[in-house]
Structure 1
Amino acid sequence: MSFIRTFHGDIDPKTLGFTYSHEHIVCRPPYWVEQEVDDLLLDDKEKSKQDVLDFKRLGGEAIVDATAIDYGRDVKAVKEIAEETGITIVGTAGFNKSFLWAANIPNHLKPVIGDYATFYEWIEAKSINELADFVIREVEEGLEGTNIPGGQVKFGTGYNRITPLEEKTIRAVARAHHETKAPVHSHTEAGTMALEQIEILKSENVSLEYVSFGHMDRNPDPFYHEQVAKTGALLSFDGISKIKYAPESTRIHCILELVKKGYGKQILVSGDTARKTYYKHYDYGLGLENILGKWVPRFINEADQAGFAGEELVKDFFVNNPAKCFTFKL
């Protein structure tokens, strides 16, 4: 039995369709609220919805919302967007990365998490298995006490390091994966520490074919990418449109290098659109339409010129590979 768990319920993987594999739709990260960084607060449901509709108009069908509990999910608002647009949305259980855990836990989460002041205190106080049980409930019962279930489990680590608490959450998420069979997603800060994360996952007997590693294009190193791909894991190139980190030519080169080595079935592509300035309807940014409207045609052109079948690769990156990646296999 296999299925993808969405905000709409469990669906046949074949029906997922054209998918962005790592986005943020409505969220108010407590850390950034406290730091008063307004750009990182996607706090207007209607504006986010307009960008989702732009994506739909160009043929988009599904979005994976990679927002974990410590990054300020608004589960109900995102579900409303799913219902009002008809876009399939996959939610995320688990955690992000340690520096965010300095933030105070919002009052609305206290009934779910318990009476802890900060995320750090909560994660420190709980055992690995207790954290795993929390993640399991978010997959099997619902995110943040709702009846809206998570469709993947997530952990994250910082730049060039893994803290003891981050290792704790990796192990908790691994154990939740074994119990629920949910797919696993990793946040890698600037594309670092994936290989070290892999060693921890192996020690928890996680098969890497169930894991996707985010932000691989933030570390545009083809040798490094190959080492991750050799494990059977999926690599998420989710910084499309972010020229401040690298030109699109660099991302396309790295993707085609993996394809050349036979790893085209292990690539996901998305935008990690987590700022007002990235969204068209918040602050006149490129928006959710940019990848589908402009990047995909460019990629097809460059892939074709390099001797690859561009349209077939796009179907893999946005349809076939997400359908495989986000499937529960019971």
Structure 2
Amino acid sequence: MIRTVLGDLAPDELGRCDYHEHLFQVSPLLPGDELDDEAASGAEAATLRAAGIAAMVEATPTGLGRDPAAVARISAATGLRVVHTTGAHRSEHYPSGHWLPECSEADLAARFTADVRDALPAVDGPGRGAPAAGPAGAPVRAGLVKAGVGYWRIDPFERRVLAAAAATAAATGVAAMVHLEHGSAAHEVLAALAADGLAADRVVLAHADRNLDPGLHTDLAAAGAYLGYDGMARHREAPDSAILDCLERVIAAGGADRLLLGGDVARRTRYRAYGGLPGLDYLPRRFLPRLAERLGDEALHRVLVTNPARALTLRP
């Protein structure tokens, strides 16, 4: 089964899935780019659904302004299925004195596991407090655990989070998504998680395409890891054509079953409902037609439907 904010569903019910977006997010690293308005975030989510995406992952982890009850209301209103994450981001997202980096590995694992098994807390703070509830009163639970590392760095907090993510995956069956800063330290992350008992085929390496190296990606896919491509519309770093080129080469080398696509738009200044550009629907409206033209509908179905359903299925 796949655990969404409105309950569990069969993998074949997920549909076309955008593996990485944010409906709510507040971070000291992103001043002025807060996603904190339910009406605006809901309107933006509706554009994604209208463009043919059936499901998304809400990738905002603990302590960064998440609002799982509001996400559940948005899911119910738009028909967009949403898998929420638990876990934690890389260290820089938590200012000095923040409560989360002070938690032990055991505390982190207990918190993340409870988010999956019981409910995400309604208030994103140090105490559990009341559970978040959806429109029908059911608890809103996480269906994925997240970790993050810095650029060629896994600091002590990030290492505790990786270990806690592995423990959560073992206890609940969720997969782990790991933020790779600029696509770095992928092999090191897989080695750390393997040491904690989590196999590569239960790991999603987010932002793999921030390092457009098809040889590296082929190796990571061969190891079993999922590769999250989510750098579309970031032309200052790389054009969409370069992402398409890399995807094509990795697929030709046998990595088609390990690829996921998302937008990670994640900014007030990039959501049209908040007054920005290009909008959450850039992926389905602008990038996916080019991918289908280049690689065909079968490849498109695999990376949008088959692969995310497999990755997000709980495997106790």
Q: Partners of 2:258 and 2:177 in 1: how far apart?
A: 13
SS where residue 70 of structure 1 aligns? Answer: coil
- Please tell me the root mean square deviation across aligned C-alpha atoms, in Å: 1.4
Cα deviation, residue 291, structure 1: 1.1
Q: Report % sequence identity.
A: 32
| 2:4 is aligned with 1:26 | no
Match of 2:230 among 220, 227, 238: 238
Q: Partners of 1:236 and 1:295 in 2: how far apart?
A: 15
- Checking the alignment, whether the CA contact within 8 Å between 1:129 and 1:175 is kept in structure 2 is no
Structure 1, unaligned stretches of length 5 or more?
A: 104-116, 304-309
Q: Partners of 1:102 and 1:284 in 2: how far apart?
A: 27
User: Residue in 2 aligned with 1:322?
Assistant: 308
Match of 1:67 among 60, 64, 67: 60
User: Residue in 2 aligned with 1:45?
Assistant: 38
Match of 1:201 among 193, 198, 221: 193
Displaced runs of 4 or more, over 6 A:
none
SS where residue 212 of structure 1 aligns? Answer: strand
| 2:133 is aligned with 1:135 | no
1:8-45 alpha-carbon deviations (Å, 9 max, x no partner): 1010010000110000012223x24xx7x112x01222
User: Residue in 2 aligned with 1:110?
Assistant: none
TM-score for both structures, normalised by structure 1:
0.88
Match of 1:175 among 159, 167, 171: 167
User: Residue in 2 aligned with 1:271?
Assistant: 263
User: Residue in 2 aligned with 1:118?
Assistant: 98
| 2:74 is aligned with 1:81 | yes
TM-score for both structures, normalised by structure 2:
0.92
SS where residue 247 of structure 2 aligns? Answer: helix
| 2:304 is aligned with 1:311 | no
User: Residue in 1 aligned with 2:127?
Assistant: none
AA partner of residue 326 (structure 1): L
AA partner of residue 15 (structure 2): G
Cα deviation, residue 130, structure 1: 2.3
Q: Partners of 1:227 and 1:59 in 2: how far apart?
A: 32
Q: Partners of 1:100 and 1:178 in 2: how far apart?
A: 26
AA partner of residue 25 (structure 2): C
Q: Partners of 1:154 and 1:229 in 2: how far apart?
A: 19
User: Residue in 1 aligned with 2:150?
Assistant: 158
Instruction: Identify, as 1 or 2, the structure richer in helix.
Output: 1
- Checking the alignment, whether the CA contact within 8 Å between 1:154 and 1:185 is kept in structure 2 is yes
- Checking the alignment, whether the CA contact within 8 Å between 1:28 and 1:72 is kept in structure 2 is yes
Match of 2:282 among 282, 290, 296: 290
User: Residue in 1 aligned with 2:51?
Assistant: 58
Cα deviation, residue 46, structure 1: 1.5
| 2:306 is aligned with 1:302 | no
Q: Partners of 1:266 and 1:222 in 2: how far apart?
A: 13
